[in-house]
Amino acid sequence: MLFFITVSVLLASAQAKFYTDCGSKLATVESVGVSGCADDAKECILKRNTNATITIDFTPSQDVSSIETEVHGVIMDLPVPFPISQPDACKGNGLSCPLKAGEKANYKTTLPVLKSYPKVRVTVKWELKNSAGDLVCVMIPAKIH
């Protein structure tokens, strides 16, 4: 019995990831990466006055002609919109729209972590969506340092 518990704990820790899916309805999230953040981290450290790169590999379940990016910083359960320079995910983010159902897509963008940002713990809610709903929705716990 102890053997099975040990194996279960090891498998669970091997599957650990720093992000959680918050309602990806129109795609399957394969992986998420944030520069400087290990897969098994409890939170990502975002250093002020640097750039952070996020990558999301996903497979849409239907053909997609357009995708908008929405980013919120969630502090004490309050989502605060985060302005991004290019909300059209199909322009300059590694995606070639239209996307075909069942074909893996690779989204990648870089954003500045401004020196003026307060040193705070925040959950980053990153959404890729279209008029039908969320393709991708991930929550990334982070600490601005």
Confidence grade of residue 51 (pLDDT, cut at 50, 70, 90): very high
CA distance 123 to 31: 18
Residue 5 has pLDDT above 60, yes or no: no
**pTM given for the model:** 0.85
Name residues whose C-beta falls within 8 Å of residue 37's C-beta, 6 or more positions apart in sequence: 18, 44, 45, 140
Round the average pLDDT of the chain to a whole number and report it: 87
Pair type for strands 20-21 and 133-144? antiparallel
Q: Span 18-144: which CATH code?
A: 2.60.40.770
Domain boundaries, the chain: 18-144
Residue 102 has pLDDT above 70, yes or no: yes
Tokens, residue 80: 């605060």
Please tell me the chain's helix, strand, coil percentages from 3-state DSSP, rounded to the nearest 5: 10, 50, 45
What number is the average pLDDT over the span 94-103? 95
Are 89 and 107 contacting, i.e. CB atoms less than 8 angstroms apart?
yes
Residue 14 has pLDDT above 50, yes or no: no
pLDDT digits (tens, 9 = 90+) for 19-47: 999 999 999 999 999 997 887 888 999 99
